[in-house]
Amino acid sequence: MNKYEKYKNILVAQPHSRVLQITLNRSRARNALSKKLLAEMADALTIATGDDDVRCVVVTGDHKAFSAGADIKEMPEDGIPMFADAERLRAWKTIEQFRKPLIAAVNGYALGGGCELVLLCDIVVCGKNAQFGTPEIKISAFPGDGGTQRLPRLIGKARAMYMILTGAQINATLAYEWGLVSEVLPSDQTIARALEIAKVVSEHSPIALEMSKAEVLMSFSKPLDESLSLERQMLLWQTEDHDEGIASFIEKRKPKYTGR
Ligand code: CAA
């Protein structure tokens, strides 16, 4: 059995060498993020972390829903502590700390935890039918898997407050204008476009990709003087891939990157 073939709640494929595609596979529940689904996704990303054949991961759902968020039907069973469930929190942490580029291809609903999953992706493309929202307020909750912190940092306080306090959905055009997504496409082209971007990304040096991702994410978590100084320190690291990049440019050939 292929190392990614053991899951039920996600489907994992490798449509291009070095690109992994994770498709959320709970269509009938609008791809709600059950504890099992999150655990499978975290497991796949953990394997992908050590897999040199994976340099970029595309995450997608189906045409109706990227994901409708946390599985509300798991809530009555466990009550509020469900959110504090250690396995669930570990899974979110694994997604948050995944060092390789993550690209979201969103069609349909990306609500609650589904929207928060989008916020953890590095590049986001969506179909014209995409709808983003944080409806937790309607069940007397709030987007507690990072949404209350990442959303205002990304789209600004007033827009984040509007989404979080009303629970209203925004469409693809507004999501694009507010900077939540980088491209809006006809819905049947979303995945192909995400894979096209992933292919370009995956041709670059894996170590340079990881450093670039880490540096951009620092801008959300550290004061500017600290992140600028860390950026400068990272620039001083010499890598074999950087030497190879320079040599390939001078010798007019394609670089062969090793991730060292
Ligand atoms: N959890 C569990 N099941 C869900 C679900 C969810 N988040 N969203 C949808 N489903 C289920 C429905 O219960 C329904 O199941 P049955 O067929 O067994 O009745 C099935 O998926 C299809 O749903 P609908 O019939 O409602 O489909 P629709 O296309 O008419 O509407 C929807 C889709 C707008 C997404 C609607 O289902 C909906 O509003 N879902 C809830 C969205 C939500 O509130 N998300 C936030 C969750 S809380 C969260 O995420 C917490 C956090 O961040 C900390």
Nearest CA residue ID for atom 19, ligand 1: 29
Nearest residue to 153 via CA among 216, 242, 91: 216
Render pLDDT for 217-235 as a digit per residue (tens, 0 to 9).
Answer: 999 999 999 999 988 888 7
Going by alpha carbons, the residue nearest to atom 3 of ligand 1 is 29
Nearest CA to ligand 1 atom 32: 68
Question: Which sign does the torsion angle of CA 107, 108, 113, 118 carry?
Answer: positive
Cα–Cα dist 183/193, whole Å? 9
pLDDT at residue 79, rounded to an integer: 56
* Structure confidence at residue 235 (pLDDT): 79
Catalytic residue among 69, 105, 136, 160: 136
Confidence bin at 76 (pLDDT 50/70/90): low
User: 171-223: per-residue pLDDT in tens?
Assistant: 999 999 999 999 999 999 999 999 999 999 999 999 999 999 999 999 999 99
Atom of ligand 1 nearest to the CA of 69: 50
**Taking all residues of the chain, what is their mean pLDDT, rounded to a whole number?**
95
Ligand 1 binding pocket mutation candidate from 72, 82, 85, 137 (most atoms within 8 A of CB): 72
CA of 120: how far to CAs of 17, 95, 101, 106, 113, in Å?
23, 7, 10, 13, 10
* CA 112 – ligand 1 centroid, Å: 10
pLDDT at residue number 77? 61
User: Residue 1 above 80 pLDDT?
Assistant: no
CA distance 245 to 260: 12
Which residue of the set 44, 68, 70, 198 is catalytic?
A: 70
Atom of ligand 1 nearest to the CA of 134: 46
As for ligand 1, residues whose beta carbon falls within 6 Å of it are: 29-30, 32, 68-73, 83, 109, 111-113, 116, 135-136, 141, 143-145, 147
pLDDT in tens, 30-74: 999 999 999 999 999 999 999 999 999 999 999 999 999 999 998
- Please report the pLDDT score of residue 233 as a whole number: 86
Tell me whether residue 168 is one of the annotated catalytic residues.
Answer: no
Residue-level length of the chain: 260
Tell how far the Cα of 32 is from the centroid of ligand 1, in angstroms: 7
